[in-house]
A = this chain, B = another copy of it.
Amino acid sequence: MPLRIGILGSGAVGMYYGAKLAHAGSDVHFLIRGDLTEVRQNGIFVRGEGENFRVPKVNCYNSSEEIGPCDLVIIALKATSNPDLVDLVPPLLHEQTVLLTLQNGLGSEEFLAEHFGAERIVGGLCFIAVERHSNSEVERYDYGLIVLGEPARPATERIRQIAAEFSRAKIKCSVTDNLSLERWRKLIWNIPFNGLSIVAGGIDTAAIVGNQNLRQLTLDLMNEVIAAANKCGYALPADAWREHMKRTDSMIGFKPSTLTDWERGKPLEIEAIWGEPLRRAVAAGARMPRTEMLYELLNKLDRDRHNSPT
């Protein structure tokens, strides 16, 4: 029997992976909190090197109740919307439903476990550069690997089943026995690029790596993250920054998701990407002064905007 899949979150990541799965024939149901007209009329266009396709008929709904129980629910909302999940998730659950969080940073599995039980929760890390151009169009710039794993335990059979479903949809994926380590590995990229893109004045990745000062700062931040991960017990190699820089140097300028959030006036995933890693690092005896500085500056910018009348 095919997996019944729910997608929570109609941002770039949810749209892209949901459309890939639907395009491959998976039984996908999107929760879209907003106007459904455009998606119902146009479907979803996916653009990117080697893939240009349209999902003509998209199963989309305004409420979880309309979707009902699923076998797999992919959580692709921003971490800043987590409080909403408390109401959005329950109608999607049956006894065996697996919740796969694709959220950035740290703290996502813990939040979901607390509310819906630790047994259901698995995690995925998206190494992808993807941008939503409209309610019905998404563009992928960089490759799009997902790393799937169980929180705090080795990969299980269900993880391999999800990986198989993804692979069938030509979503590149791999399975890890150490999801938390991979979360830290991803932070090596997100902590500098997502933060500097805003603090340095609304610039993309190419502008960051192309500026000698910001490039140095990026490397310093990356080293801080690697050292903190190691203090927390996740053995990232000292040169783990290298693959990130190489990949970023080779891709076209891309706006990190936090910059896109910023430009659209949305709240920033500050706690997930900077706050929680910082707290865990400090608790483990690591120092992350540059990360802390980004955290303080981003908080300031975010709060100013939040507190000022719009």
Give A residues with C-beta under 8 Å from B.
199-201, 211, 213-214, 216-217, 220, 224, 289-290, 292-293, 295-297, 299-301, 303-304
Contacts and interface: CB of A to CB of B under 8 A. Distances in A.
B220 A297 contact: no
B220 A292 contact: yes
Contacts of A216: 296
A296 B300 CA distance: 19
22 contacts: A199-B297, A200-B297, A200-B301, A211-B304, A213-B295, A213-B296, A213-B299, A213-B300, A213-B303, A214-B296, A214-B297, A217-B292, A217-B296, A217-B297, A220-B289, A220-B292, A224-B289, A289-B289, A289-B290, A289-B293, A290-B293, A293-B293
Across the A-B interface, the 10 shortest Cβ-Cβ residue pairs: A213-B296, A289-B289, A217-B296, A213-B300, A213-B299, A290-B293, A289-B290, A211-B300, A214-B300, A293-B293
Contacts of A214: 296-297, 300
Classify the secondary structure of A's interface with B: helix
A200 B289 contact: no
Contacts of A293: 217, 220, 289-290, 293
Nearest to A196: B297
A295 B216 CA distance: 11
B220 A300 contact: no
A216 to B, nearest CB: 6
Contact of A301 (B201, B217, B289, B297): B201
Contacts of A220: 289, 292-293
Contacts of A290: 289-290, 292-293
Contacts of A289: 220, 224, 289-290, 293
Contacts of A304: 201, 211
Contacts of A224: 289
Contacts of A295: 213
A37 B203 CA distance: 43
A70 B200 CA distance: 45
Nearest to A288: B289
A211 B301 CA distance: 10
Nearest to A217: B296
Nearest to A221: B293
A116 to B, nearest CB: 32
